[in-house]
Every structure is written in C-alpha cells, then in structure tokens.
Amino acid sequence: MSEIKEKEPLFSAKNLKLLTEPIDSKNPVTVLVLGICSALAVTVKLKPAIVMAISVIVVTAFSNLIISLIRKSIPNRIRIIVQLVVIASLVILVDQILKAYVYDVSKQLSVFVGLIITNCIIMGRLEAFALGNKPWPSFLDGIGNGLGYGLILVIVAFFRELLGSGTILGLRVIPLEWYVKNGGFYENNGMMILPPMALITVGIIIWIQRSRNRKLIEE
C-alpha cells in the first residue's frame, strides 16, 4: 500500500486512514458496537462468513458512494427512507447475484443476506460519514468499515470451524487419527458450533484488543 500512497494522491495519508482505522481502533463491531446483529449466526463455517463479509463490504462501499453522490439533492425529511431504499436495493442485487452464482452458500446464508439491510454499520456510516463527505473518501470509509466488520467475522468463524469441526474452509486440519473414535485423544468441541459461542468469542476478541490498546477501555 505504501508504494501507491506516494504515487497516487487518491491514497493520501488522510484517505488511507479512513481505510485502516476501522480495522482496529475504530472497529465498528468491537468499538462502536454496530452491526453485530445479522451476521454472527453465519460464523459456524468459514466459507459463508467470508461470503457474508464480502457482501457487507460491497454494500457499505457502494451505499456510501451512492449516498455521497446524491447527498446534496436528498430532501431532508425522507432522508432515512432514501437511505433504506438505496441499501435495500443493493442488498437485493447482492442476494440475486449470490443465488445465481454461489447457490450453495446463498442457501446457508438464507435470511441473513436480507438482514444486511438492518446492519447498523451501513446506516450508521451513511448518517455519520457519507452525508457530509465527498464520494471518494466515503467509498474508502465504506470499504474500511466493511473490512473491520469482515475481519471480526472471519476471526470468529476461523476459531469456530477449527475447534468445532476440525476443518478450515472444509479442509481437514486436525488429523482424523487424533480423534477418540479412531483411538486418539482428541474430540471436537461441539459447543463451538452452538450459537452462544460466537458471542463469547467476540467477547474474548474485545478483551484481547482492549488489553493491547488501553485507550479503548470503558469507564
């Protein structure tokens, strides 16, 4: 990235910050408490989590871009509705594309693709950033926030799939000979597959992040 930064003014230090800050110190999930809703249920396996993360990045980036482009023309009174319509249309597009090209994953994601609409990150970024900034920075901000969110999703899914099923992206990581039923010592942690463990994993991620970055500690 640093090479591009020198050559291209598009990636000035300020713009680059928009991209990187949401990944750690302004992470939408662990710091700003946005957008936890829709997606943790899809973190049992890594593959749907990655598809979900990409979908959210696409929707945040483009809704930010579109709203920023038309920000001067939006009537204030129907602002929220306009935003919802833009988000919902993008989500419908994503959903239709997933159904057409990655049907298996779209079946696993089921209603959770639709729930991207009410993912507070998107609405939150539109209100807080895109309405008051130029298209390019808004686009970067969207990608950054999408990435920050996706990162948490992928970390959670990585541990849940590894410990819960012994695989990563469906490939076996923990050898079958290790399992008790094959005479070994290992057993999958069935608990990791259950939904509550996703929350506990996020809790632990927050704990680690805040021990590293003490500025984020509450109270």
Span from 1-9, 13-21, 144-152, 206-214 in contact with other proteins (CB under 8 A): 206-214
**Number of residues binding to other proteins, judged by CB under 8 A:** 64
Nearer to other proteins, 183 or 196 (CB): 196
Angle among Cα 139, 151, 79 to the nearest 5 degrees reads 35
Write out the DSSP string of 9-73.
GGG-HHHHHHHHGGGTTT-TTTTS--S-TTTGGG-SSHHHHHHHHHHHHHHHHHHHHHHHHTTTT
Nearer to other proteins, 8 or 203 (CB): 203
Q: How far is CA 69 from CA 73, 77, 132, 170, 176, in A?
A: 9, 18, 10, 41, 54
> Tokens 């049907």 sit at which residue?
103
Determine, following the binding rule CB under 8 A, whether residue 203 of this chain makes contact with other proteins. Answer: yes
Determine, following the binding rule CB under 8 A, whether residue 179 of this chain makes contact with other proteins. Answer: no
Nearer to other proteins, 174 or 193 (CB): 193
From the CB of 140, what's the least distance to other proteins, in Å? 24
Nearer to other proteins, 110 or 182 (CB): 110
Closest to 117 (Cα-Cα) out of 87, 82, 147, 149: 87
Binding to other proteins (CB under 8 A) within 87-146 occurs at: 88-89, 91-93, 95-97, 99-101, 103, 110-111, 114-115, 117-120, 123
Determine, following the binding rule CB under 8 A, whether residue 40 of this chain makes contact with other proteins. Answer: yes
Burial of 195 (0-12, 13-18, 19+ CB in 10 A): exposed
Determine, following the binding rule CB under 8 A, whether residue 215 of this chain makes contact with other proteins. Answer: no
Binding to other proteins (CB under 8 A) within 44-83 occurs at: 73-78, 80-82
From the CB of 2, what's the least distance to other proteins, in Å? 31
Q: CA 94 to CA 54: how far, in whole Å?
A: 10
Sign of the C-alpha dihedral computed for residues 153, 155, 157 and 160 taken in this order: negative
Contact residues for other proteins (CB under 8 A)?
Answer: 30, 33-41, 73-78, 80-82, 84-85, 88-89, 91-93, 95-97, 99-101, 103, 110-111, 114-115, 117-120, 123, 193-200, 202-204, 206-211, 214, 216-219
